[in-house]
Amino acid sequence: MKIDTDPTLIKDSQEIHMDIDNLNETKYLLNWKNWKKYMVVLVVLLVIVGMGAYYIFHIPPPPQSAELVVHANVSGGSVYVDDEAVGETGPTVHNLTPDKHRIRVEKVDYEPFEIQITLVAGERQIVNAWLNSVNEPILPGVEEELGELLVNLNIPGGMLYIDGKPKGPIGDTPHTLSPGENEIRIEEVGYEPFRTRITSVAGERQVINAWLNPVSPRLIVRSNVSGATVYIDGEAVGPAGPEAYSLPVGRHQIRVKKKGYSPYETWITLTAGEKQRVVMARLEPVSSSQLIVKSNVSGAMVFIDGKLVGPASPKAHDLPLGKYRVRVEKEGYSPFKARIALTPREPLVINAQLYPVSPPPRPRQLPRLIVRSNVSGDIVSIDGKPVGPTGPEVHSLAVGKHRVRVEKKGYRSFATEIILTEGEKKTIYASLGPELPPPGCRNRSKGGGKEPKMITIPIGEFLMGSPENESGRYSDEDPQHLVRITKSFTLGITEVTFKDYDRFACATRRKLPDDGGWGRGKRPVINVDWNDAMEYAKWLSRETGKRYRLPSEVEWEYAARAGSTTRYFWGNDEKSICTYANGYDVSARRIHKYYPWSDLSCDDRQANTAPVGSYRANPFGLFDMSGNVWEWTADCWHDDYRDAPDDSAVWGRENHGNCSRRVIRGGAWHSQAADFRSADRSRLITGGAINSVGFRLAGDP
């Protein structure tokens, strides 16, 4: 191969040709010298690549820039940074390196302004330049002797105003003052202004030590749900929304809570000069709650809806929201039973009290009792329990005190108290005379039914049941459905009282219901079952010639709501319960400590039932539609509202109605907050007569 390598021998149009025709293994070999050249070139290339990589990955990036804005008291000022012109004063932002810089502002006919500052990466600094005119007019023949003012300020910067006129930034140079009283004001962005008044004397210097406090930042907390409460540093400050709260500079804990939702929590740090911060709290609904079951004895076992869940302890059980049956038992102790409703709230705590069961005495030591009377067909009750008729039958009883009662319809009852000793045999002879009128009936004439005060309820329509997002609701309030009341009806202004019912009982020679020692008169009648209420309505209809009845469940809820769509007829506020309803408040809790649920956070000083009409009426003028006593309705019980009537008709056995249980509404003196909701419903066996259930009458106009 032959190549001309001299560039002087190659013309512009010539090409280089290689003669390889005669190339063979013997004429062309890569000897050791050729390989050394290739290795040198390779090493040089590797060095170049390595230096480039080092430069790319190890040379630090240029520092982040800082921002500068220069304002002045006059327009058109020229700005110089480190003696280099960068523009004019105004809102223009200058990007500079983070470092110390010398700033100068100039304008013709004004003294220049100069300051040295230190810029921090990523931050913006504002300089307020004050240019004093060099051509201030001087009145001929007038020379006023002035005072001087020197201001010491706790922060750098600050703009001085004397009698409302700007005098320039605070510095080491004193400012002149006209003799007399002067108003001094000092301002700086992000700080509260300083104000004072001084009296200047010609030829004297006054010194003011001014302190500017940072402006309190304002915080706005919003939420994705309405009615959420905002807590700042553990203290409730109000609802989430557009309201702004002034807070000191520093770190703060923010919590947002609402019943039925998981709480939101965050920490924020407010800085000096910060005007406003907005926090958006997102709350997620909860679908479960917690139950804690404790007991006064160790080793007691807890059953929830019949299923063993473990021993009683401070351990919480996570359960879906709803109603449950709780039983706590231990061998040798009487079991504890309760019905509860779990709602979205703090964990529900039950303290189950178990009492030891006394072992039965030995049969040979039992005393014996025989009860005889002067009539047949009577009933003997020992310690409140019926044991059969009088006669020769022997009753084996425990040693101690016993109450014995003998009763027969149409005769006065016989009652006594005895004390039996071990092995004693005793016989009691009961003498029953003709029955006298019940206590309170002797001065009453027969009949005597009086028309109750009634209110006409107008026609209309409403949504029956509760919406899915209502706090404290139960599944038996589903589905919410539209009901039309096409015919007006009347409803008693109050619940039927003892005074009203006793008149009926005396006239029909019924046994007067027990008032539990709480009082009769204007208090709502209690301890009456559904049949008693129905019989009272029939009797009063005969006495007055008007038709009275129990209201249907639809009529009851329509009248209770009185046009409202909130949880309670007065709104959604639980704190107002004691104003509108008699419930399980502080006074009731003090007397009746055995209920496992919490008391209300208010106190109306009524521990039991209250006289009717003691609380505020609803918009229809009806009293005690919430609280005091549950009220019987005409409807059979259904587990929910599927296929429920869309009018005011009574819902009977159709659609799997259970008529051995009847619907009761309204809550009672021992109820918690959820029971006072207009949509809340419960049931009781038809023959159930308890101290928390009464009734009110309905009628047709």
Q: Are residues 292 and 346 in the same domain?
A: yes
Q: Are residues 340 and 481 in the same domain?
A: no
Average pLDDT, the chain: 87
| Burial annotation 277-296 (CB, 10 A radius, 16+ → b, else e) | bebebebeeeeebebbbbbe
Q: What count of other Cβ atoms lies within 10 Å of the Cβ of residue 159?
A: 18
Q: Are residues 543 and 645 in the same domain?
A: yes
What does the pLDDT read at residue 133? 78
% the chain with pLDDT above 90: 56
Q: Are residues 485 and 538 in the same domain?
A: yes
Q: What is the pTM of this model?
A: 0.43
Give the distance from CA 316 to its chain's centroid: 21
Among 26-35, 286-295, 629-638, 675-684, the minimum mean pLDDT is found in 26-35
Is 437 within a domain? no
What does the pLDDT read at residue 246? 87
Distances (CA, A) of 105 to 75, 99, 458, 579: 11, 19, 82, 71
Is 32 within a domain? no
Sheet holding 244-246, edge to edge: 244-246, 218-223, 276-281
Spatial neighbors of 577 by CB under 8 A, at least 6 apart, are 568, 583, 585, 600, 602, 626, 627, 673, 676
- Please count the structural domains in the chain: 6
Q: Distance between CA 431 and CA 427 in Å, rounded?
A: 13
- State pLDDT tens for residues 540-567: 999 999 999 999 999 999 999 999 999 9
Q: Are residues 334 and 390 in the same domain?
A: no
Across residues 28-35, what is the average pLDDT? 51
pLDDT reading at 500 higher than 70: yes
pLDDT reading at 167 higher than 90: no
Domain-terminating residue out of 307, 332, 352: 352
- Contact between 208 and 238 under an 8 Å Cβ cutoff? The reply is no
What does the pLDDT read at residue 440? 61
- State pLDDT tens for residues 219-254: 999 999 999 999 999 999 999 999 988 888 889 999
- State pLDDT tens for residues 372-385: 998 888 999 999 99
Q: Are residues 627 and 532 in the same domain?
A: yes
Place of tokens 């009283």: 181
What CATH number has the domain bearing residue 299?
Answer: 2.60.40.1120
Across residues 118-130, what is the average pLDDT? 85
Domain-terminating residue out of 210, 226, 257: 210
Across residues 67-94, what is the average pLDDT? 90
Backbone phi, psi, residue 631, to 5°: -125, 130
Is 41 within a domain? no
- State pLDDT tens for residues 298-331: 999 999 999 999 999 998 888 888 899 999 999 9
Better pLDDT: 435 or 460: 460
The CA radius of gyration of the chain, in Å to the nearest whole number, is 47
Q: Are residues 161 and 297 in the same domain?
A: no
Q: Are residues 566 and 681 in the same domain?
A: yes
- State pLDDT tens for residues 127-153: 888 888 776 554 444 455 788 899 998
Domain span at residue 187 reads: 147-210
What does the pLDDT read at residue 15? 44
What does the pLDDT read at residue 262? 81
Which tokens sit at 224? 């994705």
Confidence tier at 274 by pLDDT (50, 70, 90): confident
- Contact between 451 and 417 under an 8 Å Cβ cutoff? The reply is no
Is 638 within a domain? yes
Confidence tier at 108 by pLDDT (50, 70, 90): confident
Domain-terminating residue out of 232, 259, 281: 281
Confidence tier at 38 by pLDDT (50, 70, 90): low
- Contact between 490 and 550 under an 8 Å Cβ cutoff? The reply is no
- Contact between 292 and 350 under an 8 Å Cβ cutoff? The reply is yes
- State pLDDT tens for residues 652-672: 999 899 999 999 999 999 999
Q: Are residues 71 and 123 in the same domain?
A: yes
What does the pLDDT read at residue 8? 45
Give the 3-state secondary structure of residue 286. Answer: coil
> Is the sign of the CA dihedral 117, 118, 119, 120 positive or negative?
negative
Distances (CA, A) of 48 to 45, 57, 61, 685: 5, 15, 21, 97
- State pLDDT tens for residues 397-407: 999 999 999 99
What does the pLDDT read at residue 214? 78
Bridge partners for 110 per DSSP:
133
What does the pLDDT read at residue 686? 95
pLDDT reading at 520 higher than 90: yes
pLDDT reading at 529 higher than 80: yes
Give the 3-state secondary structure of residue 636. Answer: strand
Better pLDDT: 156 or 443: 156
What does the pLDDT read at residue 37? 66
pLDDT reading at 445 higher than 50: no
Better pLDDT: 451 or 53: 451
Is 413 within a domain? yes
- Strands (E) located in 560-657: 630-637
Q: What count of other Cβ atoms lies within 10 Å of the Cβ of residue 453?
A: 11
Give the 3-state secondary structure of residue 651. Answer: coil
Q: What is the 3-state secondary structure (H, E, C) of 105-120?
A: EECCCECCEEEEEECC
- Contact between 164 and 193 under an 8 Å Cβ cutoff? The reply is no
Q: Shortest CA distance to 627 belongs to which of 555, 589, 680, 550?
A: 680
pLDDT reading at 444 higher than 90: no
- Contact between 119 and 96 under an 8 Å Cβ cutoff? The reply is yes
Among 362-366, 520-524, 639-643, 675-679, the minimum mean pLDDT is found in 362-366
Is 8 within a domain? no
What does the pLDDT read at residue 52? 65
pLDDT reading at 693 higher than 90: yes
Q: Are residues 470 and 527 in the same domain?
A: yes
Is 14 within a domain? no
Q: Are residues 513 and 404 in the same domain?
A: no
Across residues 421-428, what is the average pLDDT? 90
Q: Shortest CA distance to 380 belongs to which of 410, 417, 412, 408?
A: 408
Q: Are residues 102 and 238 in the same domain?
A: no
Long-range interactions of 94-101: CB distance < 8 A, separation 24+ = 94/67, 94/68, 94/69, 94/70, 95/65, 95/66, 95/67, 95/68, 96/65, 96/66, 96/67, 96/68, 97/63, 97/65, 97/66, 98/63, 98/64, 98/65, 98/66, 101/68
Confidence tier at 6 by pLDDT (50, 70, 90): very low
Better pLDDT: 45 or 479: 479
Better pLDDT: 22 or 438: 438
Is 22 within a domain? no
pLDDT reading at 259 higher than 50: yes
What does the pLDDT read at residue 16? 40
How many CA within 13 A on the CB side of residue 172?
Answer: 1
Q: Distance between CA 159 and CA 171 in Å, rounded?
A: 10
